[in-house]
Chains A and B, each alone.
Chain A
Amino acid sequence: MDLAVEMREITKVFKKVAANDKVNFNLKKGSIHGLLGENGAGKTTLMNCLYGLYQPESGKIFINGKNVRIDSPQKAMSLGVGMVHQHFMLVRPMTVVENIMLGLSSKRGPFLDTDRVERELLALSKRFNLNLEPKAKIWQLSVGEQQRVEILSALYRGAEILILDEPTAVLTPNEAQELFGILRMMRNDGKSVILISHKLEEILAIVDEVTVLRDGRLVGQAQVTAETTKRDLTSMMVGRDVLFNFKHETLKTGATKLMVNHLGARNDKGLPALKEVSFSISAGEILGFAGVDGNGQKELCEVLTGLRPTTSGEICLNGKELNRSSPKTFINEGIAHIPEDRHKTGLAMNMGIARNLILKNFSQSGFSSRGLLNFRAIKKNAERLMEEYAIKANGVHTKVKDLSGGNQQKVILARELSSKPEIIIANQPTRGLDIGATEYVRQKLLEESAKGAGVLLISADLEEILQLSDRIAVLYDGQIMGILGRNASVEEIGLLMAGVRTEEVEVC
C-alpha cells in the first residue's frame, strides 16, 4: 500500500532536551493510525512538526512520496494535512459557515460567497454524516458538534490526511462512537487519519495500525488485529504491565460534610444554569456526577468554590454556611478544586512549575516568612510533588506552557490533592492523562476519601464514574435527574442523562 505520510528520523529539541529523537512514522493511505505514548512522550510534538507548527532540527517528511518542507500550517493545508487540536479555535458568536470561511479567500473577489460555501458545506456534511447545520452559531453547539465543525473545516480545505489530538477526551461515549463512524467513513473515502488517544479501548476498536512513542523515541509500530489486547499496547507504551482493575472498598461513610440545598445559579449568558440542585456528600464518600458536558457541571463547580454567585439555596460545609463567601474562604475551609479549563483557570502558564504548585498557599507559613518567599521550601515542595506525580519536565522552574498536556494536568492535580482537602471538587480530573497517571489519580482520589475527604467527581467517562463513585447523580439541564446507588446500570444512567426520568429515583 502507498504511504500518505512518511516521517524519517525526525528530531525536535527543546532547550537541549529531545522531545522527538530520530522518530520514524509511516501512515498508510486510507488507514486510521493510532499514535500512543505516555504523557510527554512526544506525540503532539511529532504531529506539530507534520502540521508545520514546529520545524524539526533534522529529519525528512514525505507526503505521498514527495519530500516536502512544511514551514507553516498554511503549507500543511495546501499539502492536504489538517489538524484538529484538543481545544477548538472557533469564534463563538459566529456561525459555522462564517468560521470556516475565516481566512479563506472568496471566489467572488471582495464579496463573500456565503451561499455557495454553505451549499458545499451542507453536501460535505451529508457525505460524511457530520450532521451539521451551517447556519448554526458556534455557541449553540455541543462540544462534540464543535469538534465536527473543526473536522468539516479541515475537510473543506481539502484535507486528505487528518490529525486528531486526543479528540475523545472531551466527548461522551456516544459522541465518541459518532466520531468513529465519521472517521470510518473518511477511511472508506480513501482519506488517512492519525488519532492520538490515551483510551486503549478506542484504539483497539478503530485503528488499523499503531505507532508507540516513549521518551521521545519510537518503540514500535504494529498492526492492530482482533487478537491485539490492551495489555499488548500498554506493555509497549510503558515497558511493563499496568494493573487495570482495582477494587473500590465497600462503603463506610461518616458524617455529612457538604450539604447543598435548592441551589440555583446563572451561567455566563445570564440564563439559569442550576435549578434547585440539592445533594449531600459525607466524609469518605465519592459522589459521581454523570451527564453530558454543558448541563451545569462547570457552574456547579464554580458555585461550590465561591467563583460564581448563587441565585438561591445554600451551601454548608461541616455545618458552616458558605453562601456568598469569597473563593478564599472556600479554599481556607478546605475545598480543593480541579477545574475543567486548566489553561484559563488552573494554571499561570508563564510561570514555572514550582510556582504553580504553590499558587494557592504561597503566603502561608511554609512557603513564606515575614512576607518573603522561601525559595528553598518552594523548590523542595516542587521536587517532591514532581516525583510523586511523575511530572515530566527539565526542572522545577520549567514554564508550565512548555509542558505536555498531560503534565500540565498533573501540576494541577498535585497542587490540589496535596492540600489535605476536606472536599475535592474534581471536574474531569483524568482528562488527558495516560493510563498510568489515570490509575494513579483514581487511586489517589480513593485514598483521600478513605482518609475522610468527600469527593465530588465529574467525568464524561462513565466507566470512571462507575468505578469510583459510591453514589451517582445525573445532571441534566441544570437539574439533578436522580441519584443512584453504585450498582446502577449504564442504561439507567444513560436514560437520566438524556433527560428521561425513571420511577425509582432515590431522593438524597
Chain B
Amino acid sequence: MSSVSNLKQHTETELLEGLRAGDEGCARQLVEAHAGRMLAVARRFLDDEDAAQDAVQDAFASAFAAIDRFRGDSALGTWLHSILVNAALKRVRADRRRHEISLDDLMPVFDGNGCRLEPLQGRILPVDQLLERQEVRDGVRKAIACLPEGYRAVVLLRDIEGYNTDEAAAALSISVGALKVRLHRGRAALKRLLEPLLEEGMS
C-alpha cells in the first residue's frame, strides 16, 4: 500500500485522506512538499540552524497529531505555515542576538530640546523602485536578520504575517504594551539599517 503511494502524487484531498488513514507515503509526500518552505520561514525567525530545523520538526509533529481536526477551509500549506510560526515562536529568545548589534545605537536621535536629528535628506525613493534593486532586496533581508530575535519576531508577526497587536502579544506571551515597544523599536532599527539604501544618489 505505502509503496504504491510513494510512486504517485496525490491531490490534496487524497493526501488528506491518506494522512488520516496513517499512510506513510502520504506523510512523506506532505513533508517533501512543504518542509522546504517551512524551513525557510523558520530560518527567518531563528538564527540558529538547529533551532530552525527543530521548529520544522515540531510543526510536523503537531500537524500529524492534529490532522483529524484540520477542517480544510484553508489550504494545507497555509495551515502548516501557521503551525510552523507558532512552533518557531516557542524557540525565539528575546535576548539572543547574532551580530551583537545594540538596538540603542539604532534608535532615532533627538537634540536636548526633543527636536529630531534626521540623517536622511528627504529624497526617499518609492517602494517599487527600490525593490527593483537587488542590493536593496539583499540589504532588507540582511537588516531583518540583524535584528535581535525577540524584536524580529514582533516585526515579522505584525508586518509580514499580518497578526494584529493582540494576536501577536498572545503568540509571544508578552503584554500588549511590551509588544508595541518592541514593534516600534524593531521598525525604527530597520529604518536606521536601511537608511543608506533609501535615498536617490546614495549607496
- A and B part of one assembly: no
